[in-house]
A and B are shown apart, each in its own frame.
Chain A
Amino acid sequence: MGRADDRQRILLISSAIFIVLVITLTLSLKRSTGFQWILSGLTVGSIYALIAMGFSVIYSSTRVINFAQGEFSMLGGMLMYSISVKGGVPPWIGFILSVLIVTLVGAGLERVAIHPLKEQSVIAVIIVTIGLAIFLRALAKWIWGTDPVKIASFSGDKPLRFLGASIVPQSFWVFGFTVIAVVLVFIFFNRTLVGKGIRAAAMNKDAASLVGVSSSTSSLLAWTIAAALGASAGIVIAPINFAAYNVGIMLGLKGFTAAVLGGLGSFPGAVAGGLVLGVLEMITAGVVPSGYKDAVAFVILILVLLIRPQGLLGKSEDVKV
Chain B
Amino acid sequence: MFKKSTIGLLIACVCLLVAVSIGAVGCGSGNKVDASKSVYKIGAVLSLTGPAAPLGTSEQKALTMFQDELNSGAGVDGHKVEFVIVDDQSVPEQAKAAITKLINQEGVSAVIGTSSTGATLAMVPVAQQNKIPMICCAAGTAITDPVKSYVFRTPPTDRMAITKVLEYLKNKLKVSKIAILHDSNAFGTGGADELAARAPKYGIQIVANESYGSTDTDMTPQLTKIKVTPAQALVVWGTNPGPASIAKNMQQLSITIPYIGSHGIANQKFIELAGPAANGVVLPAGRMLIPASIPANSEWRKLVDTFYTNFKAKYQSNPDTFAGHGYDAGLLITDAMKTAGTDKTKLQEAIQSTNGVVGIDGVFTYSPSNHDGLTTSDLIMIKIQNGTWTEEK
- Seen from chain A, the residues whose Cβ lies within 8 Å of a Cβ on chain B are 33, 36-37, 40, 43-44, 141, 145-150, 157, 159, 166-168, 240-242, 244, 246-247, 249-250, 282-283, 285-286, 289-294
Contact = CB atoms under 8 A, between A and B. Distances in A.
B326 to A, nearest CB: 15
Contacts of B49: 141, 146
B221 A36 contact: yes
Contacts of B216: 285, 291, 293-294
A292 B213 contact: yes
B212 interface: yes
Contacts of B240: 147-148
Given A33-B224, A40-B218, A150 B184 contact: no
Nearest to A283: B221
24 contacts: A36-B221, A37-B220, A37-B224, A40-B218, A40-B220, A146-B48, A146-B53, A148-B240, A148-B241, A157-B252, A157-B276, A166-B252, A168-B248, A168-B252, A242-B241, A242-B244, A286-B222, A291-B213, A291-B216, A292-B184, A292-B211, A292-B213, A293-B213, A294-B215
A169 to B, nearest CB: 10
A289 B212 contact: no
Size band of the B side of the interface? 35 or more
Nearest to A41: B221
Given A148-B240, A289-B210, A294-B216, 8 more contacts: A36-B221, A157-B252, A159-B253, A242-B244, A250-B215, A291-B184, A291-B212, A294-B215
B269 interface: yes
Nearest to B245: A242
A36 B224 contact: yes
A166 B250 CA distance: 11
Contacts of A146: 48-49, 53-54, 57
Nearest to A295: B213
Contacts of B220: 36-37, 40, 282
A283 B220 CA distance: 10
Interface in B241-268: 241, 244-245, 248, 251-254
Contacts of B272: 149-150
A191 to B, nearest CB: 35
A112 B278 CA distance: 45
Interface in B154-200: 182-184, 188
B230 interface: no
A166 B218 contact: no
B279 interface: no
Contacts of A244: 241
A104 to B, nearest CB: 27
Contacts of A290: 184, 211
Interface string B109-136: 0000000000000000000000000000
Contacts of B215: 247, 249-250, 294
Contacts of A145: 57
Contact of A148 (B221, B228, B269): B269
B225 interface: yes
B209 interface: yes
A240 B273 contact: no
A240 B217 contact: yes
Contacts of B269: 147-148
Contacts of A286: 221-222, 224-225
B107 interface: no
Nearest to B274: A150
Contacts of A167: 252
Contacts of A159: 251-254
Nearest to A285: B221
A166 B212 contact: no
Contacts of A242: 217, 241, 244-245, 273
A292 B185 CA distance: 10
Nearest to B188: A291
Nearest to B227: A33
Interface string B39-69: 0000000001111011001000000000000
B30 interface: no
B26 interface: no
Nearest to B215: A250
A249 B224 CA distance: 28
Contacts of B219: 285
B356 interface: no
B218 A44 contact: yes
Nearest to B248: A157
A282 B224 CA distance: 11
B275 interface: yes
Contacts of A283: 221
Nearest to B214: A291
B224 to A, nearest CB: 5
Given A148-B241, A166-B254, A292-B184, A33 B225 contact: yes
A115 B354 CA distance: 63
B213 A294 contact: yes
